[in-house]
Amino acid sequence: MTPDLMDEGARRAEALHARPVTGKTESGGRAAAFSRPLAHGQVDVTHGRILYLEEVCVSFDGFRAINKLSLDIAPGELRCIIGPNGAGKTTMMDIITGKTRPDSGTVFFGSTIDLLRYKEAEIAQMGIGRKFQKPTVFEQLTVFENLELALKTDKGVKASMFFRLDTGEGDRLAEILHTIHLADSVNRQAGNLSHGQKQWLEIGMLLMQDPKLLLLDEPVAGMTDEETARTAELFLTLKGKHSLLVVEHDMGFIKTISEKVTVLHEGSVLAEGTLDQVQADERVIEVYLGR
Ligand SMILES: Nc1ncnc2c1ncn2[C@@H]1O[C@H](COP(=O)(O)OP(=O)(O)OP(=O)(O)O)[C@@H](O)[C@H]1O
Ligand SMILES: [Mg+2]
């Protein structure tokens, strides 16, 4: 074979392996086309849903932690999820983000992206951001550096070595600093922030990647009353621009931010409605609120 032909073959092999992450499926064929997003960064919400779970089941060593769970989230919605300890709230987030694989059921992002076909990192890149309960900011870095780093992680190692914020990114960083109430603390070391401020910074880091859906697990746990009130304000600002799924036990906080509330119990939806409606539901009082 001539060197030319060998080069050409190498180029083709490389092109074959350099398919975009989105659209990649393990099975291929017709199902693969069905799962392909519209274009990079776009999610098809023409059916009025950003997230859709149907009949999802997960067992751990024979214990059904999630049991035929079905859920529908609209674009821009702020949905609150409540329920007793062990109801499956965190496990539900693990399933949406690809950390836990369900045994059966359907999980879609928009109407075309079958999330069960993707890995955790791919799901994050598609625009699903997750905030765990414990803040995980870089304590040695400043507020600014933490936010800047959140952009870099999106760009790969080589690009991030020569990374400079462009004007658009700089503007976005400034806007986010304001949104998360940290504009006055831009040069403070993250380790010196209060617990609440660290939580806001981590939310800001997620916002830098402009997620379409944000999953927040017990975001106000450990916050002061004032920090909790400001977090409520923050979430109300984010609603509409992003879809939010908020798990919380703090009923005062839920009352301030909630539209529709879903009550989980033993891995399934026990009740759904406004907070007043679910609080008046006898079954909810018995398993959760009346404790
Ligand atoms: N990796 C795992 N292995 C075994 N059991 C698990 C695992 N993850 C969750 N569970 C179990 O599944 C059930 C649901 O747990 P999960 O953490 O989702 O509840 P939760 O609603 O988030 O509760 P909380 O309000 O206390 O945070 C619990 O009984 C838990 O012990
Ligand atoms: Mg939990």
pLDDT digits (tens, 9 = 90+) for 171-189: 889 999 999 999 999 999 9
Domain residues of the chain, as ranges?
A: 75-100+118-289
First to last CA, the chain: 78
Which numbered atom of ligand 1 lies nearest the CA of 61?
Answer: 4
Q: Model confidence at 134, in pLDDT bands (50, 70, 90)?
A: confident
The pLDDT of residue 273 is above 90: yes
Q: Stretch 272-288: mean pLDDT, rounded?
A: 94
Structure tokens at 148: 């800047």
Residues in the chain: 291
Residue whose C-alpha is closest to residue 267's, from 60, 65, 52, 105: 65
The answer to whether 248 touches 254, Cβ cutoff 8 Å, is yes
Cα torsion 285, 287, 289, 291: sign: positive
- Beta pairing class for 51-60 and 63-73: antiparallel
CA distance 117 to 167: 36
CA distance 56 to 71: 9
Q: How many CB atoms lie within 10 A of CB 282?
A: 9
Top mutation candidate among 56, 81, 82, 89 for ligand 1, by most atoms within 8 Å of CB: 89
Weakest-pLDDT range from 21-30, 39-48, 65-74, 131-140: 21-30
pLDDT digits (tens, 9 = 90+) for 213-251: 999 999 999 999 999 999 999 999 999 999 999 999 999
The pLDDT of residue 30 is above 50: no
Is the CB of residue 58 below 6 angstroms from any atom belonging to ligand 1?
A: no
Whether domain 75-100+118-289 has CATH 3.40.50.800: the reply is no
The pLDDT of residue 154 is above 70: no
Predicted pLDDT of residue 290 = 75
Q: Stretch 142-166: mean pLDDT, rounded?
A: 73
The pLDDT of residue 91 is above 50: yes
